[in-house]
Amino acid sequence: MFDVEDPADPSTGTRRSRGPAAFLLSGEGWPYTLVPFIPIAVVLELLHASPALIFATSAIGVIPTAALMGRATEELADRVGPGIGGLLNVTFGNFPELLIAFFALREGLHEVVKASIIGSVLGNVLLVMGAAMLVGGVTRDRQSFSARAARSQATMLLLASVALVMPAVFQLVRGGGLPLPGAELVRFSSSVEGLSLTVAIVLLISYAGGLWFSLVSHRDLFNPPDDEDDDPEVWSVKRSVSLLAISGLAVGLMSEILVGSIAETAESVGLTEFFIGAVIVAIVGNAAEHWVAVYVAAKDKMDLAVNIAIGSGAQVALFVGPVLVILSFFVGPQPLALVFNGFEVAGILLAVIVASHITSSGESTWFEGLMLLAVYAVVVATFLFA
């Protein structure tokens, strides 16, 4: 699993094999050093240890399982072609986060689910893209990326954000109130639930159109040529499917343990479930993917970094959120209404506008990355005191 190969040696034209230790210490391999936290979390759960300790270990345990799932999905996608590959990336790219939210949905933690959706979008467009621009730009005057591709992704994300906010507007105009940050489960009218379902279906259709646009009709726009041959060894289909199944089971186990400890952890450490969902759970669910964006930005591959950051945010808004709404009609105590609290509404609209403005030029500097991180810090501080 960990025995990978380095880029071809220019003197011989052959690849040099890397051992497990070298791989684990590399930029791609560090998440797998956290594997011991998986059995630790299971043992602590069986021993009914401190909820905060169970939450911390299971949260860390999600990271290596998510990293393995992402790698297996990418390898499998490369082998089956762009069409099915794109579908696989959609299905499994956000699977850890989707699974965490599913278990929270089943437990009736609707506000935690909605907080994780908004928190994931904010984390991608502010934290991840900010960190990528900062790290990649520190040693360079500026970095370039495809402005057209970035604008396309950002526009799609902005339109999705508007759609997500409209049920809250509907709720206010009808004389209702928005949920408070400390709430777990709020009952909304059947009309609000019906509107949320309609919005979810429209967003899924829009995402299907976005897949066709990026994978078929304008594939060259989102897949710029890369002359560097620095890919690790190619996995076989059998190996990819096997590791995908293993990582899926591990993600499911860690997610269930994580969600089961949220309520007690929030009470014991003095944090709201809203903050845990919007910040901690959102970051943990995408930690491996977040690291990849920063790692490739440091190698001056900003096209890929920006695509990961904005593309992942768009996937959450257009795919993960709508799927959870549809699932809520079959799982949990009541349907999930896309009525976000005031902090979430302001956060997602302002974050997407800021990110769209910064990426519109097709160039980035370390200072722009710092500004994005500053905006994220302000949003997180607001969520903390909410």
CA atoms within 13 A on the CB side of 42: 10
Q: How confident is the model at residue 14 (pLDDT cuts 50, 70, 90)?
A: very low
- Measured CA to CA, the distance from residue 180 to residue 75 in angstroms comes to 43
Given a contact cutoff of 8 angstroms between Cβ atoms, the answer to whether 288 and 70 are in contact is yes
350: its two tokens: 């302002």
CA 245 vs. chain centroid, Å, equals 20
Burial string for 91-100 (b: 16+ CB within 10 Å, else e) reads ebbbbbbbbb
* CA-based radius of gyration for the chain: 21
- Measured CA to CA, the distance from residue 61 to residue 66 in angstroms comes to 9
- Span 123-157, pLDDT tens digits: 889 998 999 999 999 888 888 888 887 888 888 88
**Single-letter amino acid code for the residue at 37:** F
- Measured CA to CA, the distance from residue 258 to residue 102 in angstroms comes to 12
- CATH architecture of structural domain 35-385: Up-down Bundle (1.20)
- Measured CA to CA, the distance from residue 241 to residue 73 in angstroms comes to 8
Looking at 1-10, 23-32, 129-138, which range is the least confident one? 1-10
Q: What share of the chain is helix, strand, coil (3-state, %, to 5)?
A: 75, 5, 25
Region of residue 369 (left: phi > 0; alpha: psi -120 to 50; beta: else)? alpha
Quote the strand ranges of the chain, DSSP E.
Answer: 4-8, 15-18, 143-144, 363-364
Does the structure show a pLDDT above 70 at 267?
Answer: yes
- Measured CA to CA, the distance from residue 113 to residue 276 in angstroms comes to 10
Residue 49, pLDDT score: 86
Residue 222, pLDDT score: 59
Residue 59, pLDDT score: 84
Quote the strand ranges of 258-342, DSSP E.
Answer: none
Count of residues in the chain: 386
Nearest to 321 by CA among 138, 161, 158: 161
- Span 173-227, pLDDT tens digits: 988 888 888 777 788 888 999 999 999 999 999 988 877 877 777 666 655 555 4
- Measured CA to CA, the distance from residue 126 to residue 140 in angstroms comes to 21
163: its two tokens: 């759609």
Residue 323, pLDDT score: 92
Q: Which long-range contacts (CB under 8 A, 24 or more apart) does 330-336 make?
A: 331/102, 331/105, 331/106, 332/105, 332/106, 332/107, 332/108, 332/110, 333/108, 333/185, 334/108, 334/110, 334/185, 334/187, 334/193, 335/193, 335/196, 335/197, 336/105, 336/110, 336/113, 336/114, 336/196
Name the pTM for this structure.
Answer: 0.79
Nearest to 251 by CA among 56, 93, 61, 29: 61
